[in-house]
Homo-oligomer: A and B are copies of this chain.
């Protein structure tokens, strides 16, 4: 049910259309809460039905500009202050680790290396995001930077953990390749 509040949050800084919100989403919240277009429009409809937002004006091309109502603002506040965030624990990356017994130590190490590389790629992407938002000083950007920092730290963790895990796998099976490109 967080998409609801994501939309309320975006609208709380000013009215916007579904299309506007979609673009805004891609550039900011999608990093912490992805949503598809169909989901977004659907939720806007439900939000309007529930009286948390209203169609402020209709423009060209069927554009509907939505604005938060008082009830919506109240709901957002309530969610921010009183609803406990649900911790995530769904990592198919870690799930695979449990089954390392089913593959060779070399394959396990290759898998971990891949994770490291994925993390490097992600680090670049995050750096891009950082550069993109650098000049802005609006509320979303200012506080979004806190989330970005989380991403950067998380990324570092990912890389360091993979490095450590490779060491563990090696320790467990000393026969595993030390130099993956040169099995001598």
Contacts and interface: CB of A to CB of B under 8 A. Distances in A.
Interface in A120-161: 122, 139-140, 142-147, 149-150, 153-154, 157, 160-161
A76 B102 contact: yes
How many copies of the shown chain assemble into the complex? 2
Interface string A84-102: 1111111111111111111
Contact of A149 (B76, B114, B164): B164
Contact of A115 (B5, B85, B154): B85
A46 interface: no
Interface string A11-24: 01100000000000
A165 interface: yes
Dominant secondary structure at the A interface: helix
Interface residues of A, number: 65
A139 B28 CA distance: 41
